[in-house]
Amino acid sequence: PRCYRSRFPGMYKTHLSHDIVLMCCACHQDLSELKSSARALMNPKSRANIPEDRLEHLEAVLMSYFDVQQLTPELVEQAAKVEPRKPQAEWTSHADKVVGGLDPSAIEAFVRGWRSHFLETMKPQFLPPHWSVDSRVANSSGE
């Protein structure tokens, strides 16, 4: 995925479009849901009209995000202030953590693993004729 490749050394990300496959993606969906859930929970009038099972779902969204077993009013307020389109200062992306933990010698296997996962999961029917899991990963110029 692009989120990982963008953090690789230059030789692994320049002039290679092999791994770019067009598809739609709503990258801010999780934070939008978080904010929406928090706002619904904060509003006493709307909260009174939300069915119990929906309330449990909204609370579960926040508890999962904050990795807690119980919500506090402070956490709900914090979630309501999240701006999905602005970077959060205390947030470190999953991709930063994954790529930061990769040994440089493991990058090619990592990319090929994601290519295989893409094929198995998405089962694409219209890939370019020469697309292959085993196509080169690094730029041959070494940049």
pLDDT tens-digit readout, 50-107? 999 999 999 998 998 888 999 999 999 988 888 766 666 666 777 888 888 888 888 8
Position 47 confidence tier, pLDDT thresholds 50, 70, 90: confident
- What φ, ψ does residue 33 adopt, rounded to 5°? -65, -40
Q: Are 65 and 37 in contact (CB under 8 A)?
A: no
Count of C-beta atoms within a 10 Å radius of residue 17 = 7
pLDDT over 70 for what percent of the chain? 78
Where is pLDDT greater, at 69 or 13?
69
Res 131 pLDDT > 50: yes
Position 22 confidence tier, pLDDT thresholds 50, 70, 90: very low
**Rounded CA separation 47/132 (Å):** 51
pLDDT over 90 for what percent of the chain? 24
Position 25 confidence tier, pLDDT thresholds 50, 70, 90: very low
